[in-house]
Structure 1
Amino acid sequence: MTDGDTSRTALLATLLALGTLSVLMVVPLFQAIVLGGLLAYLVAPVNERLARRANATVAALVTTVATTLVVLVPLALLVGVAVEQAVSLGRGVEVPDTDSLAVGLREWLGTARVPAMSDSSLGDLASAVLGGLTGRVAGVVGLIPGAAIGVVVFLFTFFYLLRDGDALLTWVRANSPLAEAETAKLFRRTDDLLWAAVVGNVVVAALQAVLTVLGLAVVGFGDLVFWGVLTFALSLLPLIGASVVWIPVVVYLAVTGQTAAAVGLTVYGAVVVSGSDNVVRPFAMRRGARLNPALLVVGIFGGIAAFGFLGLFVGPVVLGLAKTVVELLAADRDGTAGAA
């Protein structure tokens, strides 16, 4: 073995060791890093326009502050209101009296073996619940430092990708072991997949959430922020969508005797809310790459299982890039890589 081979082997071993350590350090911060990267991708066009009038650092700083104030803070407030309304809805559900429930059980069973809930047993139950809540509060307090670290990593990732994103892409191109044409195709494919997974899906989900809220407001439903956030989240999932929200409302209206409202919401939901997907999605995804529906479903739900909520966007991109790599390998095998 020559000195060059020995040096290369040592470098590869060092890279393997350092790469493993890097992965171990990055994995706990994966969500924050990916979220920062996705948001930077979304606002990059705005940042590029600002960078033409100011230096890169000032443009990235202005974009970061503006995005935080205009997007992130209102979004956090919206989610907070939705959670508050969800809790209010949960408290509005009537819970039967425990003594009445015990009496009813005794009558139904025809036996006196079901005791009534005494004050002492209720006190024990309350103590157990309070103890459980105390433990959960302590757990939440223990998570605060981790949450703060996540926020800091997210903001730094967002800022530095806006400022140095082009330099990072240039470095990747220059140091990629792939041929220049293959690297360019992977970059284009990544851009198309991100646009389809992030921009296209978010636009369609947001539109369906707004349309659903308008329909619910007309028929007299309250807690609209909660229903809007719920519709948005469900509309991001394939095979589910906004119909999971408005169809149960139609059933409720029909059962409670509000026939006209039920019929109106049915027509509105089927034609306007669900129909908006077929009209808007092709426009929202004009730049995006189309995945096979089966790959899309597997990518989204598999991504959620592996990466949490952000897997909604990461999963389809990973599967789409895997498909592209297979195609590049096949082209290289056939001797047509340069034409790919």
Structure 2
Amino acid sequence: MSTRPELSEWLSDRMGLVVLTVVSVLLAALIVLPYLQYVLLGVILAYILMPAQRQLEKHVRSMTAALVLVVVAILTILLPMMYVLAVALGQALDIAMAVQDGSLNVENVEQQIELEIGYAIDLQETYDTYQEPIATGLQEVATGALEFVGGVPSILIGLTVTVFVLFALLRDGDRLVSWVRYVLPVEDHVQRELLNELDQLMWASVVGNVVVAMIQAVLLGIGLMVLDVPSVVLLTVAAFVAALLPLIGVFAVWMPISIYLLVVGETVPAAILVGYGLLVSASDTYLRPALIGRTSAFNSAIVVVGIFGGLVVFGAVGLFIGPVVLGGAKITLDLFAREWAIAEGNPPVGPLPAADPAAETATETGITGESAPGEPAVDDSNGADGPEPAPEDDSAEDGEPGSSDGPTP
């Protein structure tokens, strides 16, 4: 049981220190906010690479392992990601310019549609009707591209921040988690349970969901390349984003392309793409449960709202961190409601809200495993099992800011 004094009494006796702390935190937040998305990207990469860091630390020093993994992340993640996004942006601009300057032969498309379906469609009239919103959309694409090019120096600075955050977290991640647990005025058993639940949520959103989307997007991109579909990189990026969304997936990309191929007379490629696309979409049924499992705070509504809201608030990294923020809020509210009920003498009946024994991640590998129904989850990193461990004095164990016994960040 924690030996910390009552928080309200402690704060009232040290008001000067409280004001100084609040001002310091606000100033620090003002410094971090301009590059928040790059800091979060570093956190995500550190979470992904931490199992490899632990394995390397068995053979080399912590700093050496962190340097090796930073170089690997730059060469295999950051640089390829920037290259793919640049190519996709270039293809999007080419399509936008082709539509805007009229280089697309609309008449040939109209004739082909009439031959295929026996019904004349005036695409030019449709374009003229919606010319203003189309022009506005194309202008926004062009403006975004110019802003991207003009913001390259800022992006490079941001990626430098990401690299240093990644290195620091890989080398000192355990100490950082222990420090956070030390300064956070929350009971130790609640901290352990919260970190365990957040670990499951991070695995489901950042690792499992992204890996599934990446696999499906690459498979679809290979199929589009074999069928000689133009703008393959742009369509692959679009498939990756679509695959992140539940109930939508890569179907939103390959189906319109199949219809287009059918309309322009490419019947065989259209049929092949339909069959191949169905296989890629069906892989979601097997890949997602295998990698993600189930977690009580990770459902379709949280994913969709988290992705689109995260894009607005955090930028591109919000695709991954948005669902974690929403799911983490749900977990925290569940824990708060449970602890409040216990404090009022009304312990909850049945399974505790934040506990979900169906989704567990191994400390070393991060691979999900299945627990038996009704069997409490086990937190191997702290030696406490179940969402409500027996009272114990953890102040000596968790009160040291330099302790390295904290859970994986």
TM-score when normalising by structure 1: 0.79
Question: Which amino acid in structure 2 is aligned with residue 74 of structure 1?
Answer: P
In the alignment, what sits opposite 2:92?
A: 86
Question: In the TM superposition, what is the alpha-carbon distance from 1:231 to its structure 2 partner?
Answer: 1.3
Question: Unaligned regions of 5+ residues in structure 1, if any?
Answer: 98-128
Greater shift in the superposed pair: 301-310 or 86-95: 86-95
Displacement of 1:197: 0.9
Counterparts of 1:47 and 1:217 in 2: how far apart (Å)?
36
The 3 A distance-change label for structure 1 pair 14 and 7 is farther
Residue aligning to 2:367: none
2:333 corresponds in structure 1 to: 326
Name which one, 1 or 2, has greater alpha-carbon Rg.
1
SS of structure 2 residue aligned to 1:257: coil
Report deviation, 1:153. Answer: 1.2
Aligned pair partner of 1:77 in 83, 86, 93:
83
**1: distance between equivalents of 2:238 and 2:280?**
15
Q: Give 1:246 deviation, angstroms.
A: 0.8
Distance 2:209 2:32 in 1: 27
Paired residues, number: 301
Aligned partner of 1:339 in structure 2 is 388
Equivalent residues in 2 for 1:239-278, closer than 5 Å: 239-270=247-278, 272-278=279-285
Post-superposition offset of 1:87 = 3.5
- Asked whether the equivalents of residues 193 and 317 of structure 1 are also in contact (C-alpha less than 8 Å), the reply is yes
Code of the residue aligned with 2:225 in structure 1: it is: A
Residue 23 of structure 2: aligned partner: 17
User: 1:18 aligns to what SS in structure 2?
Assistant: helix
Matched letter for residue 315 of structure 1 = G
- Match for residue 122 of structure 1? none
Whether the 8 Å contact between 2:298 and 2:327 is mirrored in structure 1 is yes
Matched position secondary structure for 1:315: helix
Give structure 2 stretches of 5+ with no counterpart.
1-8, 104-138, 353-386, 390-409
Contact kept, 8 Å, 1:82 with 1:229, in 2: the verdict is yes
Report whether the alignment pairs 1:59 with 2:65: yes
Classify 1:178/1:94 alpha carbon distance in 2 versus 1 (closer, same or farther; 3 Å): closer
Q: Secondary structure of the equivalent of 2:14?
A: helix
Paired residue type of 1:150: G
Secondary structure of 2:101's counterpart equals coil
| C-alpha separation in 2, matches of 1:161 and 1:10 | 32
Please report how far the alpha carbon of residue 222 of structure 1 lies from its aligned counterpart in structure 2 after TM superposition: 3.4
Residue 156, structure 1, aligned to residue 164, structure 2 = yes
Q: What percent identity do the matched residue pairs reach? A: 39
Q: Which moved more, 1:164-173 or 1:250-259?
A: 250-259
Compute the displacement of 1:92 (Å): 4.6
- Could you tell me how far 1:16 is from its partner in structure 2? 1.3
Structure 2: distance between partners of 1:49 and 1:288? 27
The secondary structure found in structure 1 opposite 2:334 is helix
Task: Compute the displacement of 1:55 (Å).
Answer: 1.2
Task: Please state whether the residue corresponding to 2:229 is helix, strand or coil.
Answer: coil
Following TM superposition, by how much is the alpha carbon of 1:96 offset from its aligned partner in structure 2, in angstroms? 4.0
CA deviation profile, 1:256-279 (whole Å, cap 9, x unmatched): 122233223223222x12111111
- Within the candidate set 177, 181, 186, 1:178 is matched to 186
- Contact persistence 1:196–1:289 (CA under 8 A): no
Q: Distance in 2 between matches of 1:149 and 1:34?
A: 15
Deviation per residue, 1:36-64 (Å, 9 max, x gap): 11011111111111111111111111111
Aligned position for 1:113: none
Change (3 A) 1:264 1:145: closer
Residues 234 and 242, structure 1, Cα contact 8 Å, conserved in 2: yes
Distance in 2, Cα, partners of 1:176 & 1:192: 21
Partner of 1:282: 289
Aligned to 2:111: none
| Residue 42 (str. 1) matches residue 48 (str. 2) | yes
Cα distance, 1:4 vs structure 2: 7.4
When residues 151 and 21 of structure 1 are mapped into structure 2, their CA distance, relative to the original with a 3 A threshold, is same
With 185-194 and 285-294 compared, the bigger mean Cα shift is at 285-294
After superposition, what is the alpha-carbon deviation per residue over 1:259-311, rounded to whole angstroms, capped at 9, x for unaligned? 233223223222x1211111110011037665232233222222222222222
Once the two structures are superposed, what CA deviation does each residue of 1:92-151 show, in whole Å capped at 9, x if it has no partner?
Answer: 548349xxxxxxxxxxxxxxxxxxxxxxxxxxxxxxx9xx99xx969955x455333312
Of Structure 1 and Structure 2, the greater helix share is in: 1
Matched, 1:294 2:343: no
1:10 partner SS: helix
Give the TM-score of the pair, scaled to structure 2.
0.67
* C-alpha distance in 1 between matches for 2:64 and 2:164: 14
- Which structure would you say has the larger RCO, counting Cα contacts within 8 Å and 6 or more residues apart? 2
Asked if 2 retains the 8 angstrom alpha-carbon contact of 1:303 and 1:315, the reply is yes
C-alpha separation between the residues in 2 aligned to 1:309 and 1:148?
Answer: 15
